């Protein structure tokens, strides 16, 4: 496994690989890897002949007062985990190599980034789409793998790829959870054992919402209420938002005839956690007179 820090060297490596006819896959991460990241790596490995993992704690996606300075890091352990996948190249640039002091250009995926986390983290998604566009240009992948854990990020990147004609296939991977339901996250490392218990409120809330949806909720508000009710019982958890939106467009006031994204952001102590679930339409919930949804037209998200 090679470790490359210089963007120019990464591009030369990729150009040579493309020349040999290799199929390049990229898995962008901020490091401090866990089983969720490794699931993305294995998906990339299965689909490509050359697999590149990037580790870059991207400063432009952190706001003032966020955890950029304290973000957990363990490069040696990450490399050992990536070697076992196996990954071919770890691209781990320094911030100064990615952003020139006089850089001016941003990529903004528009409306899809305005709600949910975008409303609470101004500038966050602009930082994400800008760095991912740069990674695509540097690594030149055929495909890139992203987790549904960061569902709005996935949609923003799909939007960017479509709007800017990036010739990169975006491969989504479902959320990987601990046995008790907690979505894996590098930020779980911040949690004390009491906070770790409280953090279960998010996945329990999603389960309650799924049950409400399955058993005949009449509108998205009822689904949101089922989720907020569960979180309210956990005193150590402060809701930032619990929202139901259209899973494709992320627009508010979703119709129950279409897949719905139920997304949660909450603070457990000082740690900000996110989780989500996609609720597929229930055939029996459709109004009388309408046909059953055509399964072949349903996109799995
Ligand atoms: P991060 O290092 O947190 O920026 O995440 C890098 C990639 O891993 C992103 O595409 C995330 O959505 C994905 N990811 C992180 N945690 C999980 C998880 N629990 N399940 C699936 N994908 C994940």
Rounded distance from Cα 150 to ligand 1 centre (Å): 7
User: Whose C-alpha lies nearest to ligand 1, atom 13?
Assistant: 147
The DSSP call for residue 183 is B
**Token pair recorded at residue 249:** 């467009």
- Flag whether the pTM goes above 0.85: yes
Rounded distance from Cα 45 to ligand 1 centre (Å): 16
Rounded distance from Cα 284 to ligand 1 centre (Å): 34
**Token pair recorded at residue 33:** 């890897």
| Best residue among 35, 36, 143 to mutate for probing ligand 1, ranked by most atoms within 8 Å of CB | 36
Q: How far is CA 174 from CA 10, 78, 129, in A?
A: 29, 21, 20
Q: How far is CA 75 from CA 108, 147, 231, 256, in A?
A: 30, 21, 35, 44
Average pLDDT, the chain: 94
Taking CB atoms and a 6 Å cutoff, what residues make up the pocket around ligand 1? 29-30, 36-37, 40, 146-147, 149-150, 173, 175-176, 183-186
φ, ψ of residue 201 in degrees (nearest 5) = -55, -35
pLDDT category at 283 given cuts 50, 70, 90 is confident
DSSP strand pairing (260-268 vs 237-246): antiparallel
The DSSP call for residue 290 is S
Neighbours of 245 (CB within 10 A): 23
In angstroms, the CA 208 to CA 106 distance is 39
Please identify which of the residues 34, 37, 120, 124 carries the catalytic annotation.
37
φ, ψ of residue 223 in degrees (nearest 5) = -70, -45
Could you tell me which of 280, 281, 285, 246 has the C-alpha nearest to residue 263? 246
CB 98 within 8 A of CB 12: no
CB 152 within 8 A of CB 125: yes
34 is catalytic: no
Mapped onto helix, strand or coil, the DSSP state of residue 124 is helix
120-145 pLDDT, tens per residue?
Answer: 999 999 999 999 999 999 999 999 99
Rounded distance from Cα 147 to ligand 1 centre (Å): 5
39-79 pLDDT, tens per residue?
Answer: 999 999 999 999 999 999 999 999 999 999 999 999 999 99
């Amino acid at each position: 496994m090679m470790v490359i820090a210089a963007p120019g060297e990464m591009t030369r490596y990729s150009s040579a690989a493309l020349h040999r006819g290799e199929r390049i896959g990229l898995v962008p991460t901020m490091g401090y890897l866990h089983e969720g990241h490794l699931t993305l790596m294995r998906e990339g490995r299965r689909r490509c002949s050359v697999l590149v993992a990037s580790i870059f704690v991207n400063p432009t996606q952190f706001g003032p007062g966020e955890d950029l300075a304290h973000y957990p890091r363990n490069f040696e352990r990450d490399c050992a985990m990536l070697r076992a996948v196996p990954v071919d190249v770890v691209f781990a640039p320094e911030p100064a190599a990615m952003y020139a002091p006089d850089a001016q250009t941003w990529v903004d995926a528009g409306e899809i980034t305005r709600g949910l986390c975008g409303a609470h983290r101004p500038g966050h998604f602009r930082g994400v789409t800008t760095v991912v566009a740069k990674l695509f240009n540097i690594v030149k992948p055929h495909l890139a793998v992203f987790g549904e854990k960061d569902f709005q990020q996935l949609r923003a990147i799909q939007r960017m790829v479509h709007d800017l004609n990036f010739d990169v296939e975006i491969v989504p991977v479902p959320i990987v959870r601990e046995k008790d339901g907690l979505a894996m996250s590098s930020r779980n490392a911040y949690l004390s054992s009491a906070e770790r218990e409280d953090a279960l409120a998010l996945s329990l809330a999603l389960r309650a919402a799924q049950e409400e949806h399955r058993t005949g909720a009449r509108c998205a508000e009822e689904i949101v209420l089922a989720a907020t009710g569960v979180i309210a019982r956990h005193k150590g958890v402060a809701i930032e938002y619990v929202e139901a939106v259209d899973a494709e467009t992320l627009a508010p006031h979703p119709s129950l005839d279409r897949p719905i994204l139920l997304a949660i952001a909450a603070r457990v102590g000082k740690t900000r956690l996110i989780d989500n679930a996609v609720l597929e339409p229930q055939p029996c919930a459709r109004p009388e007179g309408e046909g059953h949804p055509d399964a072949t037209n349903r996109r799995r998200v």
